[in-house]
Structure 1
């Protein structure tokens, strides 16, 4: 180690600044510059390796937390306490892999030492997603890579964490090169190991795309969000934001909700007449009082039966009285014979923003002539376990807001490739997308760029099997075990030396 060069003195803070700035664009799908996601950890590691153990970690943690709060403020949710606190805590926890790297750097052989940081990064991302009410919303390095199709195929084996591992692995490789002043003989082994794996992943992903056969059967799907004029008319009648529904409010609320619902029914008929076999609404596109729900459902069933379509509806059901929560956020799938095939309650309400009765998180799957149709709702897509099911087409009705529309649309792409199904995400106040089982874009529309948004797309009726669909998060668990094993090994070595 005597010939190694670390960045010390005040100049190391330039690495900290570079890492934090690159991190703003490398960890947020909203401001995504894909290459920044590969680079920012290099700069932060350069800083921590040249600093004291605790000093380096504290500086990186505080800087990363501040950068994350900038993103939250830009997304317009700085005043939502759970989001502000959750994003701050997650940004600090995601700095722990740099601390682990700093502690174990000189205690393992060179190749094993380069694997500590990427394995720790995956372990922390995965464990945070398991315990946090925000799932993967604030975590994976991979978030900015959804458009890199060859690389994206890796998630069909490892889940999203495989891409995070590759991106994080670059940091110790480049740092070793910098520390050895790019002396080839000193870095040859680790550099060739990394390049070989990266080339293998990209080649395998490209081969998977090249061998993908054209879908023999397609179904025409129309995604619908409430039109802008209908929303404006409904707000003029009543801008519904009260904590509870009083009896005297109901007549006015019915008028406002009727404007939204009639717009959806009318446009569904139009799209069915245009050839759509499945019509999918956005999250909570229809709004109905609990006591009016049976009549609303009767109208929907008549529409499906009359037009011979599958109708996938995002509905907000407003509950009576002073009960908490005060509403249900559901997706209802109706068959062409008028039968209700499934009713799914949103399983993961957004903390601090939604007071809902959550569902069990088991995505319903219905066998149809157009394949196995499944359903979740919006934020559920940030929880990979909720979307891990055997389906051919997954519907994700959603309702975003300006400041998160790109990130949330990109996040859903990973779920499609992980599980081998096409995914239809019809969105209000955001970007609607449809991708196939390889993550290839089939349709994309922006709610903010048109007054009457519809997404018309032909979708494959058959998905494909994936390794991830069988083994789940095995790769992430192996990373957890690898980090734990490395720590135990180092501890036992130190005990042995003292003896």
Structure 2
């Protein structure tokens, strides 16, 4: 292969700059330019292939850390050390696939050499997700692709990692073309292999969407967050911020929390009278003291019974005294007969921001006339294994903050398509979204741009089976195995050649 002059000498730093710039808008859901996510690895690989092994990796890793700082600062959480480290460390780890490619791409046959980088990218993404307390927040290359519906259907088979693989595969294909100066006979095999797979994925996704039948039965769902007016009245009474609940605070706290809770109950009644059969609140929309929880739930059960609705209640329960953690973040599902069907504790608190008593991470599923209802809470959706369950409608009460709202809403789309259910994500301080099992948008509201913090939507009562729902992360594990096999093959060849 011939070397491209622009990949050597000082010119190669132009590739580094281009790659970093594209990465900044290709990996952030808030500034997302979806096509940039396909392109930035091409430029970074051009740089690392033209640099010394260690030097190239260190430069890319350094800029990755700088990028992490920028993204965390833009999200308004620069001072939260666990979040900063949780973004910076995975960022460095996600540079490892470029290092692996640099070491192996000349030591394998042309097609296998192009598969090293995408396999390594998926392997690192997947393993980071398994060990990181942040789940998929700082990992998948595919995070910006939630609006590409034909492409998105692949996650029903491979999970989000299949999209990442195809996107990462483009980088070595283009680099081969650049190294061969676009000499068609030299690149024909790898180019046709990539194009064939990509066309097959897009055609299959389009066919899946075209063959999707209209839902025969729909149910009216109302998502409710506390009104901003009630939030302001509550804060005027008491803006609770002390490390523990003190006895002398309780009378004032009850007054402040009552404003929130009464607003939720009143607006739930209105939506039930308007025809909603399922009413779901945002995460920690209601706030109660531990000793007041039974009385609060009595009111919730009476409301569900009176209005004959399924009521999904998002509650922050403040624990007494100096208990650590200081609160529970729970979602309770109440049936129309007033019985509590499930009580779910948030399983994955946000590191550095939430002191909670975590739950077991098993999403409860309840059989109803409107299909199987399941629920998790907000950050749990960053962990695909937690949401991998057989349901028809997944309720995800959530609470965001400015700077992450678009990325969090987009993430919910992947979980719905992976598992074949409709997903209702009612959110305070962010974007509420409802999508069906194909990722098609059914409803979307922005907490910051409307005076009515409600989302009213008709949702299919039946989901669909998916391959991913059966085999789970098999594709990701195959990438891990394939990468390990490629590394072992090269090592054994070197040992053999020396022998």
Q: Is the 8 A contact 1:5 1:179 kept in 2?
A: no
Paired position in structure 1 for 2:486:
486
Paired position in structure 1 for 2:470:
470
Alignment of structure 1 residues 243-392 onto 2, 5 Å: 243-392=243-392
Paired position in structure 2 for 1:128:
128
Secondary structure in structure 1 of the residue aligned to 2:313: strand
Paired position in structure 2 for 1:35:
35
Secondary structure in structure 2 of the residue aligned to 1:385: helix
Paired position in structure 1 for 2:413:
413
Secondary structure in structure 1 of the residue aligned to 2:78: coil
- Looking at structure 2, the residues matched to 5 and 340 of structure 1 have their Cα atoms a distance apart, in angstroms, of 69
1:228-282 CA-partner distances (Å, limit 9, x unpaired): 0000000000001110010000000000000000000000000000000000000
- Looking at structure 2, the residues matched to 3 and 249 of structure 1 have their Cα atoms a distance apart, in angstroms, of 72
Alignment of structure 1 residues 221-260 onto 2, 5 Å: 221-260=221-260
- Looking at structure 2, the residues matched to 280 and 463 of structure 1 have their Cα atoms a distance apart, in angstroms, of 19
Q: Is the 8 A contact 1:6 1:49 kept in 2?
A: no
Q: What is the RMSD computed on CA atoms of the aligned residues?
A: 0.7
Cα deviation, residue 451, structure 1: 2.3
Q: Is the 8 A contact 2:2 2:181 kept in 1?
A: no
1:311-330 CA-partner distances (Å, limit 9, x unpaired): 00110000001010000000
Paired position in structure 1 for 2:433:
433
Aligned: 1:200 with 2:200: yes
1:350-407 CA-partner distances (Å, limit 9, x unpaired): 0000000000000000000000000000000000000000000000000000000000
1:134-186 CA-partner distances (Å, limit 9, x unpaired): 00000000000000000000000000000000000000000011111111111
TM-score normalized by the length of structure 1: 0.99
Paired position in structure 1 for 2:92:
92
Cα deviation, residue 453, structure 1: 1.0
Q: Is the 8 A contact 1:16 1:60 kept in 2?
A: yes
- Looking at structure 1, the residues matched to 85 and 64 of structure 2 have their Cα atoms a distance apart, in angstroms, of 13
Cα deviation, residue 452, structure 1: 2.3
1:180-228 CA-partner distances (Å, limit 9, x unpaired): 1111111000000000000000000000000000000000000000000
Paired position in structure 2 for 1:114:
114
Q: Is the 8 A contact 1:76 1:403 kept in 2?
A: yes
- Looking at structure 1, the residues matched to 5 and 483 of structure 2 have their Cα atoms a distance apart, in angstroms, of 26
Q: Is the 8 A contact 2:2 2:180 kept in 1?
A: no
- Looking at structure 2, the residues matched to 170 and 142 of structure 1 have their Cα atoms a distance apart, in angstroms, of 13
- Looking at structure 2, the residues matched to 395 and 141 of structure 1 have their Cα atoms a distance apart, in angstroms, of 26
1:62-100 CA-partner distances (Å, limit 9, x unpaired): 001101210100100000000001101010000000000
- Looking at structure 2, the residues matched to 390 and 305 of structure 1 have their Cα atoms a distance apart, in angstroms, of 27
Tell me, which stretches of 5 or more residues in structure 2 are unaligned? none
Aligned: 1:14 with 2:14: yes
Residues 24-33 or 435-444, more deviating: 24-33
Structure 1 pair 3–281 and aligned structure 2 pair: CA distance change class (3 A)? closer
Secondary structure in structure 2 of the residue aligned to 1:85: helix
Q: Is the 8 A contact 1:345 1:357 kept in 2?
A: yes
TM-score normalized by the length of structure 2: 0.99
- Looking at structure 2, the residues matched to 340 and 235 of structure 1 have their Cα atoms a distance apart, in angstroms, of 30
Secondary structure in structure 2 of the residue aligned to 1:264: helix
- Looking at structure 2, the residues matched to 311 and 230 of structure 1 have their Cα atoms a distance apart, in angstroms, of 20
- Looking at structure 2, the residues matched to 232 and 496 of structure 1 have their Cα atoms a distance apart, in angstroms, of 73
Paired position in structure 1 for 2:151:
151
- Looking at structure 2, the residues matched to 249 and 168 of structure 1 have their Cα atoms a distance apart, in angstroms, of 55
Secondary structure in structure 1 of the residue aligned to 2:9: coil
Secondary structure in structure 1 of the residue aligned to 2:54: helix
Cα deviation, residue 3, structure 1: 6.3
Tell me, which stretches of 5 or more residues in structure 1 are unaligned? none
- Looking at structure 2, the residues matched to 192 and 245 of structure 1 have their Cα atoms a distance apart, in angstroms, of 65
Q: Is the 8 A contact 1:346 1:377 kept in 2?
A: yes
1:99-136 CA-partner distances (Å, limit 9, x unpaired): 00000011100000000000000000000000000000
Paired position in structure 1 for 2:394:
394
Q: Is the 8 A contact 2:34 2:145 kept in 1?
A: yes
- Looking at structure 1, the residues matched to 498 and 250 of structure 2 have their Cα atoms a distance apart, in angstroms, of 76
Q: Is the 8 A contact 1:155 1:414 kept in 2?
A: yes
Structure 1 pair 349–3 and aligned structure 2 pair: CA distance change class (3 A)? closer
Cα deviation, residue 30, structure 1: 1.2
Q: Is the 8 A contact 1:151 1:205 kept in 2?
A: yes
